[in-house]
Amino acid sequence: MSSEPQPTTDRYSRQILFSGIGREGQSRLAQSRILIIGCGALGTAQAESLARAGIGTLRIVDRDFIEFSNLQRQTMFTESDAVERLPKVVAAANHLREINSDIVLEPEIADVNYSNIERLIEDCDLVIDGTDNFATRYLINDACVKHGVNWIYGAAVGSYGVTMTIRPEQTPCLRCIFPEAPPAASAPTCDTAGVIMPIINIIAAMQVTEALKMLTGQIDTLHHSLMQFDVWRNESRRISVGEPAAKCMTCGAHKFESLENESDEFAAVLCGRHAVQISPSHPVRVDLSELSKRLSTAGDVKANDYLLRFRTGDFEMTVFQDARSIIRGTDDVATARSLYAKYVGN
């Protein structure tokens, strides 16, 4: 019995039979390039669905590595991934290749910020939000509006989720609906309120469905709204978003403040993780083998091909190839910067 992959026509036969897609739609999907930003719960669900649907190229970007607490909701990962602490995009690409060897995968271990967002969306037909914070979503919104790229917002926490499809110049952008980010500590997060898998599946399914509609040219079937769901309370709501706001800073005034370099350094406290992320001000590549040798006399070091873990006292540093580091054991940015300068350098 042959173990070779079945012909493409067999793989997608049921999808081709669906009148909304058909053979022409399937051909369009095969020529499409999608960027998924964030490879956590939403991102893994989106990526698997799109890979199985036959999207030609999937570019997946995430800064983090896999932990056991991810396994409850981040469906593409396994216990062995968590034991090895693989970067999420590496593990995702490994599994996606087993699902569909026909598609092109472009995993990228990176923190999405003003210095790389425009490069990441370049030549993409669509961007899908799998992030967990408004700062990154505003960044996506600015870049996509600036370059006229469609994107699909999505979020889930507890049993509640929300999604909206954004088509620059055609629909309101994220800033039209949410002119300001929620105040710090004013909204629940997955680390404070938890999250259950069903709401992840619903939001990811809505995002992927909208993606399939746009990529196959079925614009008239888009939901044109802000859709909200609470699976625990058995509630759903569809709110009309109307027209783009004339006074919107982004799509109205074309001011893209999140794309501006306001600092030479990136430092961010990671919510609920008692950790700080430090990133270099300029692109750089670290020789993890050399760094491992250098740090071996100062503490406990473990490394793989993608990252290095270094423990010293009450702190643990995870250093990636791009010189970015997650420093556990503190919420104080100054302390994290000091440790980074001491052990990684400038």
pLDDT tens column, 133-191: 788 899 999 999 999 999 999 999 999 999 999 999 999 999 999 998 765 444 666 76
Kindly report, residue by residue over 243-257, the tens digit of the pLDDT. 999 999 999 999 998
- Read off the pTM: 0.82
Measure Cα distances from 223 to 148, 150, 210 in Å.
20, 14, 8
211 in Cβ contact with 34 (< 8 Å): yes
What is the C-alpha to C-alpha distance for residues 153 and 108, in angstroms, rounded to an integer? Answer: 20
88 in Cβ contact with 40 (< 8 Å): yes
Kindly report, residue by residue over 220-241, the tens digit of the pLDDT. 999 999 999 999 999 999 999 9
Measure Cα distances from 88 to 43, 75, 191, 331 in Å.
10, 11, 18, 23
Helix (H, G, I), strand (E, B) or coil at 311: strand
The structure tokens 């590595």 sit at: 65
Burial class (CB in 10 A: 0-12, 13-18, 19+), 206: buried
**What amino acid occupies position 122?**
E
112 Cβ neighbours under 8 A, 6+ residues apart: 37, 61, 63, 120, 131, 136, 139, 140
Q: Give the pLDDT confidence score for residue 28 in this predicted structure.
A: 98
Measure Cα distances from 3 to 6, 170 in Å.
9, 47
Give the mean pLDDT of 251-271: 78
What is the C-alpha to C-alpha distance for residues 108 and 130, in angstroms, rounded to an integer? Answer: 14
β-partners of residue 229 are 161, 236
Question: Is the pLDDT at 323 greater than 60, yes or no?
Answer: yes
155 in Cβ contact with 177 (< 8 Å): no
Helix (H, G, I), strand (E, B) or coil at 113: coil
Binning pLDDT at 50, 70 and 90, where does residue 29 land? very high
Kindly report, residue by residue over 65-94, the tens digit of the pLDDT. 898 989 999 999 999 999 998 999 999 999
